[in-house]
Amino acid sequence: MEKSSLSEHERRVPARLLRQDEAIGLRLRRFAVGRRHVLRGIGSGRSLGVLCLLSLSLMITGMATSQTLVTVAFAAVWAVTLLLAATWLFASSGRRSL
């Protein structure tokens, strides 16, 4: 029998790299599954529609009454609406590409 020309260390390095790749792959799969679970609650976009209507009504009320509290409420609801819209858009584009 012919003896291998690779040393023990040279044979262990590829095995160690494969184990690290598998560990990284597992972590990435867990991260992706966790994100899908969070985004599942967004679903049909019904909550996004409700927030858009609420933002619109607060904006109109704020312009009509010029009250600071209504303007601050509009700003808060609008920020949440934009965040949810961006999340919903990215989630729906991710589902189409897969």
50 vs 10, higher pLDDT: 50
pLDDT in tens, 59-70: 999 999 999 999
pLDDT in tens, 27-82: 766 766 555 555 555 545 788 888 899 999 999 999 999 999 999 999 999 999 99
**Model pLDDT, residue 1:** 47
Helix axes of 46-65 and 68-97: crossing angle, nearest 10 degrees: 160
**Residue 55, exposed/middle/buried by CB under 10 A (0-12, 13-18, 19+)?**
buried
What's the pTM? 0.52
**Model pLDDT, residue 14:** 74
d(CA 69, CA 61): 11
